[in-house]
Amino acid sequence: MSELKGSGQQTSDAPTPEDAFHEAATLASREQTHAPGATPDGPVLAADGTPLKRSLNRALRMQKIRALGLIAPLLIFVLLTFIAPIADMLFRSVENQIVAETLPETVEVLADWDSDSGEPPSEAVYQAFYVDMFLAQEQKLHTRLGSRLNYEQTGMSSMFRKSGRRVGKFDTDTYTDQFTALDPSWEDPASWVAMMDNKANRAALPFTARSWDRWVAYLESEGDDPAKEDIEDFLFTTLYLDLVETGGSGAADARITSAGAATGDFETVSLTEQFADADKDWVDPEIWRVIKAFAPKYTSGYFLNAVDMQKTPDGIEARPENQQIYLMLFKRTMFMSLVITFSCILLGYPVAWILANLPSRTANLLMILVLLPFWTSLLVRTSAWKVMLQQQGVINDTLVWLGLVADDARLVMINNQFGTIVAMTHILLPFMILPLYSVMQTIPPTYLRAAKSLGATNWTAFWRVYFPQSVPGIGAGSVLVFILAIGYYITPEIVGGNTGTFISNRIAYHISSSLNWGLGAALGSILLAVVMLLYWVYDKIVGIDNVKLG
């Protein structure tokens, strides 16, 4: 009995993990107590006398640094080629600094104008605008600014271009002549340099000082010496305006004080009339309302345009019905991408199943046919479909020859959604087959035989046993195909016509043709957000952990 009892208690008397831990702790405590240089209550020391915990942390830190050094090139590459462009795109979708940077004086004065008054702004706005426009046309920035504002108000591009050519010929040389008549030294550039180097003079002439700094910065960027370049008429205009405002009080230069006393008798120039002569639309309050509305450095206007809305001086409004195209393009892109994905599943699943269940030699040979499209240019494959699908193409000729279609009723399969779906399904099909084949190879065929031996039919064995194990491959292929499809623009451009193009075609148009980078970036940002949202929904419903490539 004792032997039986001992045998029965053998398992319970064996040391448990907790006992082993306590025994190890006791031994470590004893070794610590007898370790050289260690006190009974002190830390465990390493061989070099440093605390063991600190030595271990140092070793782990060095391992992390070495690991980081190994992956640093890849991280830098991803940062420069992927993260940075996306960040730049997101910034461009809200960036609007060109107005504030090109017209800084105008924006500041225009802020005090009541845009709801129905009257054009005061002469002070036109005076500031004259200085800004003169410097902008010297730097060739006025055309860029006009193009930017033309997105919001048609015709502004031509206004800026026309006025840029005229602004240098305004009658502001009247001020130049009157100042030089008082003192010929006003024409000396070196005297201006000396005058603007004095803080008291700059305080007495604030508008002139700001304009001078911008002019000097431009000259130096061109490699010119401000002390040797002629003083332009716009600087004499700012000088006159400052002297009318301050009278030259506090200036250290005697010329400023004497000129301030004489400006009351000067002949004046109406810059409002000068701009009206250049283009009558400059006295239209609506033009200035647009400039004021888009003066902030950051704007939501691009995103509003991307969803068929617009930012106006009166607030946010829907775009005219005949201009509402982007929401329709987003819906079409989503719909056609889903159709292409399902088409790839229907066509790719049987092919992957056959490849996974054939002998390796035969499967490898057929796999070459699956990979063959990768060896052909995308443009060539798309152009081939354009030839095949057209009304006088191979497919229609075959259908007419078979008598399935009348010669005068040939099918329209190109320049529409059908052509885009067919061509893109063919192009993206390998991206569905490969994940499916990789997952199906890991499914043991004995599972199906076991199900059949238990009385299941072929369909029941497939649907209840085989198909659930292939779902991870379907998920991986679907995510891959959908994300690739949603961003395609070459194939839809060639075979899609007006009804088969994607939102990506408009993004490419704005980036490369219209140069409306802000709107293109906003469309791209929305597309990225939609993809991330769908990815999140897929993760919640299916689970991204269930996506496998084999």
CA dist 257 to 179, 233, 246, 417, Å? 12, 20, 10, 76
The stretches of 35-122 forming alpha helices (DSSP H) are 52-78, 84-92, 97-102, 104-110
The three-state secondary structure class of 95 is strand
- The DSSP output letter for 15 is P
Q: Which pLDDT band, with edges at 50, 70 and 90, does 463 fall under?
A: very high
Q: What is the pLDDT of residue 33?
A: 46
Strand 309-312 to strand 315-318: parallel, antiparallel, or no bridges (unpaired)? antiparallel
Q: At what angle do helices 517-541 and 84-92 cross, to 10 degrees?
A: 120
Give the range among 137-146, 246-255, 324-333 with minimum mean pLDDT.
246-255
**Nearest-CA neighbor of 442 among 548, 327, 364?**
548
Res. 21: pLDDT tops 80: no
- Distance between CA atoms of residues 195 and 188, nearest Å: 11
Q: Write down the pTM of the prediction.
A: 0.77
With beta carbons less than 8 A apart as the criterion, state whether 288 and 122 touch.
no
**Which residue type, as a one-letter code, is found at position 527?**
L
Percentage of the chain beyond pLDDT 70 is 89
Q: pLDDT tens for residues 200-235?
A: 999 999 999 999 999 999 999 999 999 999 999 999
Which sign does the torsion angle of CA 57, 60, 65, 71 carry?
A: negative
The three-state secondary structure class of 416 is coil
**Nearest-CA neighbor of 170 among 214, 120, 134?**
134
CB atoms within 10 A of CB 514: 13
- Distance between CA atoms of residues 37 and 31, nearest Å: 12
- Distance between CA atoms of residues 415 and 80, nearest Å: 38
Which sign does the torsion angle of CA 380, 385, 387, 388 carry?
A: positive
Q: Which pLDDT band, with edges at 50, 70 and 90, does 15 fall under?
A: low
**Which residue type, as a one-letter code, is found at position 499?**
T
- The DSSP output letter for 117 is S
Q: What is the pLDDT of residue 132?
A: 96
CA triplet 427, 432, 438: central angle to 5 degrees? 135
CA dist 218 to 70, 140, 176, 212, 297, Å? 46, 11, 21, 10, 22
With beta carbons less than 8 A apart as the criterion, state whether 538 and 479 touch.
yes
**Nearest-CA neighbor of 509 among 489, 536, 486, 483?**
489
Q: What is the C-alpha R_g of the chain?
A: 38
**Which residue type, as a one-letter code, is found at position 355?**
L
Mean pLDDT value across residues 144-149: 92
* Ramachandran area for residue 268 (φ above 0: left; ψ -120 to 50: alpha; else beta): beta
Q: Which pLDDT band, with edges at 50, 70 and 90, does 46 fall under?
A: low
Q: How many residues does the chain have?
A: 550
Give the range among 5-9, 100-104, 309-313 with minimum mean pLDDT.
5-9
Q: What is the pLDDT of residue 135?
A: 95
